[in-house]
Structure 1
Amino acid sequence: MPKTSLDGIRVAAFTHFAAGPIAAQYLGSLGADVIKVESPAQDVNRYALRDPNGHLQGISPYFVVTNRNQRNVCLNLKTEDGLAAAKALIASSDVLIENYRPGVMEKLGLGYEEIKKINPGIIYASISAYDPEGSARNRPGQDLLIQALSGIASLTGRGDGPPIPVGAYIIDGFTAMQVLVGILAALRHRDATGEGQALRADMMSSSMYLMAQEASYVLNVEANPVRSSAGIAHVNQSAPYGVYQVKDGAIVLSTFGGVPMVKKLVAALQIDDLSEEDITEQKIRFSRDEIATKIAARLAPMTMAEAMSAVEPTGTWTAPVRTLAEALADPAIVETGIIQDVSSPYGGDYKVVVEPLRMEKTPLLSRRPAADLGEHTEEVLAELGLSPVKADAVGHL
């Protein structure tokens, strides 16, 4: 087995749903020994979205793809033995990562102030929906809610229609990456000083950072930018940046060449009612809907192939709007190796998309499929020098 970046690092993962498991899984792919502590009640994601065809034996595709490269210990943290086993695991760990509601770990006696007494060098990473010390700390937090509250949804969609949330759980994934960066930096600091530390990221703050460019415009230029009614895909972009329907689908147009490139595009599409005076830096920005509407009308009767062959020679960037299934079938994506086959007695045979990071000397590994509930409880307890605990302290052995 090749050497990995995090050989010898153990992670105790008190994680559920998406953001916590994604961060923990990435650490596992970097070579850490990640041990997920799951309650007998189970991670909601384990069965929240089942495969309708039974390919995954009734478990959720979401769970199998975000809980790879982790061992699974099932402990009832509300029992004395279960809590003692959790503390023994934490004492042997380099990193603890958790994304429970604020205050839950503290109520269990597993908050950072208690844990650093038994493991001063631990990196204690917390993920929450909102600032755990702020006034919003007890609000319900989930990707869709954060998209709404942060303003992401308000920036998406046509101006004459409702806001549209992004069709992926982008805030869960982006928040997980903030914590991952923090953990790696904290491990480097510990290597140099011996000091552990607590770190945290919350989904709301992460969503604001995700929109740092857009926020800078709102904070400094225009407080309430208006979405385009003609389909310009960004509140701050000029025409023709956006999605355009064609006879057999849709394409996107993106130009960073300013007026000269827009003039080439208009000429190539033979849009006679747009003159030279209609295409200025001011007008492609502030009359963008009018310009985009005329471009859209010219493209609508064309096939995708006809539209792209007309657009590409102008230097305007263009691409077809594909379904996710079409993207996953693209040979250029398949050849990267990012889609991998996984087989396990628990989940059967399935495919997953793995981490995109490539490292020459310490490659990422895909060595463990998502584990069954409590699959490694006996194994891990034995490593900790613990005898099997009482039945009510674990899910099943």
Structure 2
Amino acid sequence: MRGFVWILLAGVVLLAACNDDMSMEAYSNRGAEHDKSVLDANAEKLDDQLYQLSRTDFAILSHAMSERLSDEATGNVQFLKAVVNIGQLMYQNESEDCYFEELMKLTFDKDYYCSVLEKEGCGEWQWNGTTASFEKLKEHETDVIFKFPASENLEGDTAVLTISDMLFYNGSFPQKGDALEDGTVLEQALQKLHFNIKIKDELILASNVNASFSDDGFFEIVAMSFNPQPFNLSGELGVEDESGYWTLGFNHGDDAIFSSHLDMVFDKGNNDMPVTSIVNNFTLEEVMVYTEAKTGQLYNELVRLSALDPDSRAYAEDLASALNEFALMKLKYQSDNSLIANVEALAEPSGEGDAWEVDLVFEFSDGSLESSEKYFKNYLVEFKMELEQLIADFRGKFGF
């Protein structure tokens, strides 16, 4: 719970420049015990959905294959390994941010992976259990295909990963011509990609990446979907004029588990206060977390704090002070917008040596106080897609 941005992107309510009426907003009439039971139920459902995700066919085959793939995988096998690594994390049920950090990293690293794929060309590769490596069987006109065991049993069913619909952007872009550590030179950026995994013709994973570019070669929109059946995880980053947005979604079939939409407004000419507005809506079942910060002061405080040791007492105390001074934090019901709890940031020892951290304390209608960790563990307060990195993505990849 160290970074303000982890809290922000998790949907903790930031409402700067609020008036007295809003600060005195009435609580829901459902009662504190009912409100707490709703938070408990929502958190339990999220835990259950993440457990079910860990038992999908994709997660199970990834666990089996991750044991076979070397950490030093080279060539086009690196793409398969990146996908399998995400499935292995799902199998272990060890994500603190519902896998969005790993998925967005795969999305933004796609230019590298696909430069490698293009370098080796299309074709079909088969896993050889004797040599513990992939061997190329034949050429293919349009696709890259990997065939490998779908379970720990080498003689069992075969999984087929097919990479198709690769479309490249050949214009100028900021990283064009860069040479990576392995000598790969980025000559083009990926505009479109689809891949899926099937076992006996049954779809167990489908994923799409789509991007559009400005005349200057910067991204305008990058959209990603990653669907380990029957789940769907999706994310999108985009810009228009001097605003940007970021959306996240986690669904089980038609059932929305949670969704988040964040909007930011930038002032390109203001280096002192580049972020002028942040608005975020985060929904988890019945609970809505609303974010609004119509000031750049929060971002400036984040920049200042980035120079401090994030485990230090000074960092935790200054971060908590900045949150409480520049933000009003709330949890609400989605149905009627009524208040569940006010939230205050509190600096405290983490219990690990001399380290300190920032906790978020919920204040309910009966005056009782509870740590946010009781209800949300790390899923909501430790989203690893930090705002600093998000701003960097908009600046470096989207031209801000």
Q: 1 or 2, which has the higher helix percentage?
A: 1
Q: 1 or 2, which has the higher strand percentage?
A: 2
TM-score, length of structure 2 as denominator length: 0.25
TM-score, length of structure 1 as denominator length: 0.25
